[in-house]
A and B are shown apart, each in its own frame.
Chain A
Amino acid sequence: MKKLLVLGLLSGLLVLSVQAYAHSPLMSCFDNGDGTVTCEGGFSDGSSAAGVSMIVKGPDGNALMEGKMNQDSEYTFDKPEGAYTVVFDAGEGHGVVIDGANIVE
């Protein structure tokens, strides 16, 4: 019985990890050229990123802005003055971080 439970747990884990693999988080950001930056999110299976938490962080890791991906899986924010990073936070193991220095038009 206990063995069965372990097996059940194991297969549950397996399913979870397989799912996680099939749903890699993806994000791409670009500078709109008008003082704002737009990030687009998505998953490798095509599912929507609407509602996923977004954090814009300053050089010391403090959150400058926080928000969520909109219905179109997009998040637009005012470009910070200094260095920054953008975090797409879709839960544990589902994050994408982009350095602001790599965000171009």
Chain B
Amino acid sequence: MKKRFIMLLTAVCVLAVVSSAFAHFMVVYTPEIAVEQAEDMDVRILFTHPAEAGHMMDMGGVEEFYAMFQRGDSEPKKIDLKGYLKQIEWSNPGSKAPAFAGVVPRKEVRSMGDYVIVMKPGYYYEKEEDIYMQQITKVVMNVGGVPGNWADPVGLPCEIVPLIKPYAMWTGNVFVGQVLSEGKPVAGAEVEVEFMSHMPDLKTNSMPEASSVEYPHDAFVTQTIFSDDNGYITFGIPKAGWWGFAALGIGPDTEHNGKELSQDAVIWVKAVDMK
């Protein structure tokens, strides 16, 4: 009996350790980010561990949701999209949490050019570590093939600025980005990388249990890279699909509600197979 109990305890401990190794990722998801002609854009916003369809977390609401639009070298324009969001419940295997869904009408995104979509969530309280987290997230969409501001900083408290079109990557391309905090490069930033191995299902607002990837070891679930002296990160994309990059604790805000705050910068990119 005692032996069994100890075994169980050990298992629980191991489980706890393993689950704390999962990376937190704000997910801002829409199925296509390189579109010929805009349609109504279905969007979901959730906070989870996307490589494992893991634990769902309450992001603490959405503070800002907008797109910075630019076609060619025209004046960039801010398009507020927050009004299109409504709260939903997102279900992952074994876990549910409030999330957000919206349909951005075509008229908001029908112009050719780049749409740097920005989502600033509220604050998530991580009980185990007694800290708050806020992951400011970007995803860049292009309509019609005319490029714009995809490589320009938005001017967020912290962000990852891509140096390769994040909506036009082939499998095998190298993602290059610069990690910025208050517009300045962050040297030695710890950046976690995850693959969306459980594709979001927009009909059921859930991630499936089955993974598209077999992970040989926990270290492969969340890969870790560091920015160089000038804040640059480089990462070869080995598989088609969605890749998330999260630069941890780099933002200027370090405290919320009297507790430690990790203000992170996230960007999602999509790679496509050459056919």
Which residues of A are at the interface with B, using a C-beta cutoff of 8 A?
A: 24, 26, 28, 30, 40, 42-49, 72-73, 105
**B98, CB-defined interface residue at 8 Å:** no
**B213, CB-defined interface residue at 8 Å:** no
Given known contacts A24-B145, A28-B37, A28-B144, A46 and B73 CB-to-CB distance under 8 angstroms:
yes
A101 to B220, CA, bound (A): 51
Evaluate contact between A46 and B37: CB separation under 8 angstroms: no
Evaluate contact between A46 and B148: CB separation under 8 angstroms: yes
Evaluate contact between B144 and A26: CB separation under 8 angstroms: yes
A30 to B107, CA, bound (A): 9
A43 to B113, CA, bound (A): 10
Which residues of B are at the interface with A, using a C-beta cutoff of 8 A?
A: 37, 71-74, 106-107, 110-113, 143-148
Chain B residues with Cβ under 8 A from A43's Cβ?
A: 72, 146
Evaluate contact between A46 and B111: CB separation under 8 angstroms: no
The 3 tightest CB contacts between A and B, nearest first, are A42-B146, A46-B147, A46-B72
A89 to chain B, nearest CB (A): 17
Choose one: A24, A28, A45, A48; the contact of B112 (CB below 8 Å). Answer: A28
B76 to chain A, nearest CB (A): 12
In the complex formed, the residue of A with least CB distance to B112 is A28
B204 to chain A, nearest CB (A): 30
Chain A residues with Cβ under 8 A from B111's Cβ?
A: 28, 40
Choose one: A28, A30, A42; the contact of B72 (CB below 8 Å). Answer: A42
Chain B residues with Cβ under 8 A from A46's Cβ?
A: 72-73, 146-148
Evaluate contact between A73 and B74: CB separation under 8 angstroms: yes
A72 to B143, CA, bound (A): 17
Choose one: A44, A48, A49, A72; the contact of B145 (CB below 8 Å). Answer: A44
A47 to B71, CA, bound (A): 9
Choose one: B37, B72, B107, B145; the contact of A47 (CB below 8 Å). Answer: B72
A79 to B144, CA, bound (A): 22
Choose one: B74, B106, B144, B146; the contact of A72 (CB below 8 Å). Answer: B74
Evaluate contact between A44 and B146: CB separation under 8 angstroms: yes
In the complex formed, the residue of B with least CB distance to A72 is B74
A43 to B72, CA, bound (A): 8
B172 to chain A, nearest CB (A): 22
Could you say which of B72, B110, B113 has the most chain A C-beta atoms within 10 Å of its C-beta? B72
In the complex formed, the residue of A with least CB distance to B144 is A28
In the complex formed, the residue of A with least CB distance to B150 is A46
A47 to B148, CA, bound (A): 9
Chain B residues with Cβ under 8 A from A28's Cβ?
A: 37, 110-112, 143-144
